A and B are shown apart, each in its own frame.
Chain A
């Protein structure tokens, strides 16, 4: 099992400038996600949940406050250090899958490893194992446009897991899927997180999806309005 990772936001705000106006996406959010927890962040559109996820991934910077991942303040890391952290310690899953259209499922899934300099054969061996585990043994050489939405999201999950990350960030992973595929994806995320002890931060606006988490944090207008442990957490 990989070493688990914790996430902490301390008084984090994020303001955007749009059309001459200041839009406050996050307003003094403080949140601690202990290592190994499956935390779901919920909220309506524009509540700031995706922004929160981007800040934790280090692909955006807060206007105020600190974001710590595994105890390290992201603001003190260089761009390369943040990138390497994403590559090796964090897995990302997006609503729109974000697979590279010219690469096959196998190549897409092996991308983080290849970026990390792992030899292509080895990278693809590991990616293949991930894809097979996710039920895509028959789709390894397919390009994204030859796959269904559910299959594409499973390839994206395989890509997120291939580097054996400690933290999984999922942004509306079922938002673009039919209910059956969505269910499938949620089950996969939960099972993997439990099996591998990942810390998970999942953003969604879907109440049904939220139930798989250990904890549900609700955001509204950039602020945390509730923070509850779920029955799953209690039973665990």
Chain B
């Protein structure tokens, strides 16, 4: 799924850039109209096409932000336009649609498309529908192509361009051409088309790393169980191996046969698991991409790209786990004298020195996790943090057997007193094969670790963001062209609309909000502008710890800005310091007057007054209007008036609706992790069922004896259920400790990759409920094995060896 999200970003970029090997963009804002000619004159440039890119707000039944591109220059040499029906937009007011856009909007050639643009609502005529090739592939076909003159007029661009895509002359080294372009066009940044995708990909990385940590842990749980199942299955056949050895089979032949069997089983199971995973990925991709779309880029296709390399790696992983699990008992069985192997399986408890060694190894992994966490503090990517999470899981796996044995010994007598003989027998069974029980407990612990760790992290995140939201978002109504959520291709609105809104009876104040992205020290930071006076009358900025309170109204008319705490942390900027931002007129230095708490973007935010922004960035458009009412009781009346503006295509949200939409985005962000946690938990619980089935099979004769000397069916059942409950509770308790550590690791990863400091929080509620749930689920999973144990044919069981 991660692969698919990244791949669709690449596809979007490459479809827009076409055959270009260089893409030129402004460090801030847009490129001057003469940039295209300047680029064309650069030595080594064969052809160049300029473009305006953005999104149209489409009205009608399906209100949507439809990404568009309008090209100029050597368009045919750079981009491929293949039409399924109709032709390219040639005249003013014409638009071509991608296949998916045509389907979703229900518009064919000749149909009229009602779209809101900064110059008002316009009716465009569909001139053609693009085939699924070239530009038509971008955004999964959900896009529009406009005639350049039309886009230029609608968006009042006066020839300014978003990008110039360049095809280099044969043999011309791209790096040298890029350097020459940057020299020829002041304020331009030239890079490969992928580098823009790379930038976006980096934005997606935080989500991906989260999913990766969770999926690595799920895989860990699964591997555990494969190992466990195979080792149990082979151990069960010890007698069979004894017979084969007695009949003349050689040791290495036996081991080879078992390894081959395990490999085949592992292969079949891994491929089946992989296919199931892909099915799930397809289902989840929509949710993940919706999140990426809202936050980072205008559009992504909901197409699943199968990462075959990873698929193969996972299958290999499954096969190795199966073979590794089978090999140990196979070697043991093959090495034992045949006569011994043919006797009833002997249960070997983990000896004390081994327990101590396992604890020492677990301690070693804890130290490694600590080192990785320390390394994460200075890292920009999530590698060390993921390694820390893995080391934590290994520590849990190693510590499970000794801790389980210790726990059962400590709590056992109490349980005996409370539950009587069945508890005693259950305890004996666990202690007799602590390895088997521990592997199951460890798998469950890994799942509980994930659930508790992620729940703690998510709750810390939610509380922080929602607390900030309540403080920072105080307007009564919000007006925008698309649902607010931080799309990087906003549908901009004309500033004049603000004046219209101000005239509506009941409106007290209107704030004009605009956000753009600029390149700062290699990252794409957000520059936000607002009418500071209006902003201060509606919101109370939260100064970051260590920041002296400052009267922000003073920044009006000055080259001053305040920055978000994550920006300050990532770029080592302090109150009173200076930052140099690229603007269309060249670099401008701004004094940083304050650092505020802000969670708008993980890349960091620079805030300035609208006047200062318009002056330097030459951009008057508005993303959204924040409306303050004279009296809250007039909200419905003002809302109706706002809805009537611009032919009714504007998006109006109340304060509560806006906050709810942000909350929904945050919750959506985490939704995919819940699915994975649930899978890990289910796998863990299945592991308990698996272990208990084996335990019952191994103890058939003993169960028969118990029944023969007078144990009622329910007493046998209770014994099995108590054993499962012990394993479940041990796994859950171990997972609670693991969860505490994982929460800390995730918070360190967040701080180092986004600059956001989340307060450490442990979700006691989730911890308590997941402990109960895991224990109850473990008991429930043992129901069937317990039932079959209770219904064992006693006479047959007594004859069983």
Chain A neighbourhood of B293, CB < 8 A: none
B428:A103 contact, CB within 8 angstroms: yes
Minimal beta-carbon separation of B793 from chain A (angstroms)? 7
> Which of A59, A102, A114 contacts B795, CB < 8 Å?
A59
* Closest-CB distance, B362 to chain A (whole angstroms): 27
- Minimal beta-carbon separation of B548 from chain A (angstroms): 70
A38 interface hit (Cβ, 8 Å) = no
Q: Kindly report which residue of chain A lies nearest to residue B799, judged by CB atoms.
A: A50
A103 to B429, CA, bound (A): 11
Q: How far is the CB of B398 from chain A (nearest CB, A)?
A: 25
Please tell me if the beta carbons of A114 and B708 are within 8 angstroms of each other in the complex: no
- C-beta contact mask, B427-448 vs A, less than 8 Å → 1, else 0? 0110110000000000000000
CB–CB B705/A98 < 8 A: yes
Indicate whether B713 reaches chain A with its CB closer than 8 angstroms: yes
**Contact residues in A for B708 (Cβ distance below 8 Å):** 57, 59, 86, 92, 98
- Name which of A83, A99, A116 has the most chain B CB atoms within 10 A of its CB: A83
- The answer to whether the Cβ of A77 comes within 8 Å of any Cβ in the partner chain is no
A120 to B422, CA, bound (A): 13
B711 at the interface (CB under 8 A from A): yes
**Interface footprint category on B:** 20 to 34
Answer yes or no: B353 CB below 8 A from chain A CBs: no
Which residue from A54, A79, A101, A159 sits with its C-beta under 8 Å from B709? A159
Docked CA distance A117–B421 (Å)? 9
What residues on A are CB-neighbors of B710 within 8 Å?
A: 83-84, 86-88, 111-112, 115-116, 163
Neighbouring B residues of A133 by C-beta, 8 Å:
none
Bound-state CA distance A182–B420 (Å) is: 35
Q: Which residues of A contact B347 (CB under 8 A)?
A: 101
Chain B residues positioned under 8 Å from A116 (CB to CB): 710
Q: Is B454 interfacial (CB-CB < 8 Å)?
A: no
Contacts of A54 in B (CB 8 A): 794-795, 798
A228 within 8 A of B: no
B701 within 8 A of A: yes
Q: How far apart sit A5 and B67, CA to CA, in the bound complex (Å)? A: 93
- Within the complex, which residue of B421, B429, B702, B793 is in contact with A114, where a contact is CB–CB below 8 Å? B421
Check if B354 is an interface residue, CB within 8 A of chain A: no
Known pairs A83-B710, A92-B709, A114-B421; A102 contacts B432 (CB<8 A) = yes
What A residues does B715 contact at CB under 8 A? 115
With A100-B702, A102-B428, A103-B428 already in contact, the answer to whether A115 and B795 are too (CB < 8 A) is no
Within 8 A of B (CB), among A92-145: 92, 94, 98-103, 111-112, 114-117, 120
Q: Write out, one digit per residue, whether chain B residues 692-734 have a CB within 8 A of any chain A CB (1) or not (0).
A: 0000000001100111111111010000000000000000000
Given contacts A57-B708, A59-B798, A92-B708, contact A115 B702 (CB under 8 A): no
Q: Which residues of B contact A112 (CB under 8 A)?
A: 709-710
Once bound together, how far apart are the Cα atoms of A94 and B794, in whole Å? 13
Instruction: Say whether A22 faces chain B, with CB atoms less than 8 Å apart.
Output: no
In chain A, what residue has the closest Cβ to B422? A115
Binding site for A on B (CB under 8 A): 347, 416, 420-421, 425, 428-429, 431-432, 701-702, 705-713, 715, 793-795, 798
Cβ contacts A to B, 29 pairs, < 8 Å: A51-B795, A54-B794, A54-B795, A54-B798, A59-B794, A59-B795, A59-B798, A60-B794, A79-B713, A80-B712, A83-B707, A83-B713, A84-B710, A84-B712, A86-B710, A87-B709, A94-B705, A94-B798, A98-B708, A100-B702, A100-B705, A101-B432, A111-B710, A112-B709, A112-B710, A115-B710, A115-B711, A115-B715, A116-B710
Residues of chain A having any CB pair with chain B under 8 Å? 51, 54, 57, 59-60, 79-80, 83-84, 86-88, 92, 94, 98-103, 111-112, 114-117, 120, 159, 163
